[in-house]
């Protein structure tokens, strides 16, 4: 983690960015044209998953980074839940659902791993003080 100097270098952020891009692409589909509330909610959740990684990284505190990663992980779960809404409402087909849900699962796993590492660093720093 010490070698990472910018949030853009974090794989979790890079993958969250890719997921956000795909969610935005999905919301441009004709079936979602009139679903303004849904589109707004899923886009906000995808942006939150990505942005909270960056925000926490830049705050400089392991405790704050851990906290924002928890928020990011929750936002990623919200994206997944909203993908089920889209599938159930017929906004997306099963293939699109599987592709986007797999991406969201990967992002969630990466955020979880990063969160665990940051938590260990936070705990080690507390133990030395």
Rounded Cα distance between 86 and 106, Å, is 19
pLDDT in the model for residue 37: 96
Residue 71 included in any domain:
yes
CATH number at residue 50: 1.20.1440.60
Q: Quote the CA–CA distance of 14 and 29 in Å, as a whole number.
A: 24
Low-confidence ranges of the chain (pLDDT < 50): 1
User: How far, in Å, CA of 76 to CA of 13, rounded?
Assistant: 12
Q: What's the pLDDT score for residue 2?
A: 53
Domain of 102, in residue numbers: 7-128
User: How does DSSP classify residue 31?
Assistant: G
What is the C-alpha to C-alpha distance for residues 75 and 81, in angstroms, rounded to an integer?
Answer: 10
Give pLDDT, residue 1: 43
């Amino acid at each position: 983690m010490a070698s990472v100097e910018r949030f853009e270098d974090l794989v979790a952020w890079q993958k969250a960015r890719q997921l956000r891009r795909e969610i935005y692409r999905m919301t441009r589909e004709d079936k979602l044209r009139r679903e303004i509330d849904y589109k707004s909610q899923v886009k906000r959740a995808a942006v939150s998953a990505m942005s909270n990684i960056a925000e926490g990284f830049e705050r400089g505190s392991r405790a704050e980074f851990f906290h924002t990663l928890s928020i990011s992980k929750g936002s990623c779960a919200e994206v997944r839940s909203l993908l089920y809404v889209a599938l159930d409402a017929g906004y997306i087909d099963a293939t699109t659902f599987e592709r986007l849900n797999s991406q969201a699962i990967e992002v969630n796993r990466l955020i979880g791993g990063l969160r665990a590492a940051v938590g260990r660093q936070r705990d080690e720093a507390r133990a030395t003080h």
